[in-house]
Amino acid sequence: MTILCYHAIDTAWSSPLAVRPDAFAAHCAWLAAHRRLVDLEEAVERMGASGRLPRRTVAVTFDDGFASLYDEALRVLRDHDVPATVFLVSGTLSSEPQSVDWVDTPVPDTLRTLTADQIAAMRSQGIRFGSHSHTHRDLTSLTDQECLADLTTSRGILEDLLEEPVRMLAYPRGLHDERVRRLAARAGFTHAFALPERREQAGPYSIPRVGIYRGNGVRTVQVKVSPWYLSVRTGRLAPVLGSIRGPGRNGRADHRGDGPGAGRFGARHTARFG
């Protein structure tokens, strides 16, 4: 099984995070025809103790809670009967909402995050929601107290809004370590999702996902949902494939995220996004 991670579905925002609506519709049509699409809850229920998931099934998630999910993605998800979970930055829902200050690329004035009304409308159509932290900071850079406060605040705000338990967390930028995983459990989450680029021990608090970015066509999605994709991407072959394809655009050793230039094997490293 593969858990996909999208961000925005947006024509106007020329960010790697913003998949074009027509491309997204093509992805969903292909996935609906060729894979068993499952709800994230079902995915984690079926996940073994090792963190491995059944083959040929796909779950779809979205990080950051951009308003384009309501404007563009919802209709497509409904048309193809694709279950989806959206991870919200709860700070964007507080009385003085946080602006989108966590992405690396310029943000257009028109970029919005989901409102409480839009979230309610999406829920009534079967979309589920989880936490993507309160402030979208790198949790590994926070003190224990800051990290726990961020995660607890996020879960509290979202549980008040949704009036149901919120047990799923997607780490901002997928970043986590042993300490963050322990604090996620203490904050009351039962499962947490990453975006690994290197080999990571999979488990309930480090469930791997695969990022889909602007420019990824159906063939790239096909590759990214292949059973071997994550192990090749995060395994010993990844640096070899990466070096064949040249350095990432920022040349840093620790850059993360399989961006739109990721190529057929997604092994070319580019900057880590959202």
Q: Which residues bind Zn ion (CB under 5 A)?
A: 63-64, 274
Shortest distance, position 94 Cβ to Zn ion, whole Å: 17
In the bound state with Zn ion, the residue whose beta carbon lies nearer, of 28 and 139, is 139
Residue 165 neighbours by CB under 8 Å, 6+ apart: 159
Closest residue to Zn ion, Cβ-based? 274
191 phi, psi to nearest 5 deg: -145, 145
- Rounded CA separation 158/130 (Å): 8
Are 62 and 6 within 8 A, CB to CB? yes
In the bound state with Zn ion, the residue whose beta carbon lies nearer, of 196 and 274, is 274
- Rounded CA separation 132/64 (Å): 7
Shortest distance, position 149 Cβ to Zn ion, whole Å: 19
Q: Where are the alpha helices (DSSP H) in 187-255?
A: 218-224, 229-234, 237-244
Shortest distance, position 51 Cβ to Zn ion, whole Å: 21
Shortest distance, position 196 Cβ to Zn ion, whole Å: 15
Shortest distance, position 174 Cβ to Zn ion, whole Å: 8
Are 70 and 61 within 8 A, CB to CB? no
- Rounded CA separation 240/258 (Å): 15
In the bound state with Zn ion, the residue whose beta carbon lies nearer, of 130 and 274, is 274
In the bound state with Zn ion, the residue whose beta carbon lies nearer, of 63 and 72, is 63
In the bound state with Zn ion, the residue whose beta carbon lies nearer, of 211 and 274, is 274
Shortest distance, position 113 Cβ to Zn ion, whole Å: 11
Could you write out the DSSP letters of every residue in 129-178?
EEE--SS---GGGS-HHHHHHHHHHHHHHHHHHHSS---EEE-GGG---H
In the bound state with Zn ion, the residue whose beta carbon lies nearer, of 169 and 223, is 169
The one-letter amino acid code at 144 reads: D
